[in-house]
């Protein structure tokens, strides 16, 4: 069975909690720092989602032998 594509792992959950904590701390220092923190967090989350979904995966060339047999 294939695992779900967007399954939340413990590492992912810790990263999410760390991003929220850092953003809250930055908003306490000032609104500009908070907005910059949110911008960085947004880019990190989008990069992670692109990695999980496989946006940049190489597609096999036509006629190439597949590494795993089809099910």
The pLDDT value recorded for residue 49 is 84
The pLDDT value recorded for residue 33 is 96
What is the residue extent of each domain of the chain?
10-53
C-alpha to C-alpha distances, 17 to 4, 37, 52, 67, nearest whole angstrom: 22, 14, 19, 38
How far is residue 42's CA from residue 31's CA, in Å, rounded to a whole number? 16
Per-residue pLDDT tens, the chain, 71 aa: give them.
Answer: 566 666 778 888 898 899 999 999 999 999 999 999 999 999 988 988 888 888 877 776 776 666 666 66
Angle between helices 10-29 and 31-53 (to 10 degrees): 160
Cα-flanking dihedrals φ and ψ of residue 4, to 5°?
A: -60, 145
């Amino acid at each position: 069975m294939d695992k779900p594509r967007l399954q939340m792992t413990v590492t992912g959950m810790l990263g999410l909690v760390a991003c929220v904590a850092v953003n809250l701390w930055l908003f306490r220092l000032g609104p500009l720092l908070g907005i910059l923190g949110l911008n960085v967090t947004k880019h990190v989350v989008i990069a992670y989602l692109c990695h999980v979904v496989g946006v940049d995966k190489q597609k096999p060339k036509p006629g190439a032998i597949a590494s795993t047999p089809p099910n």
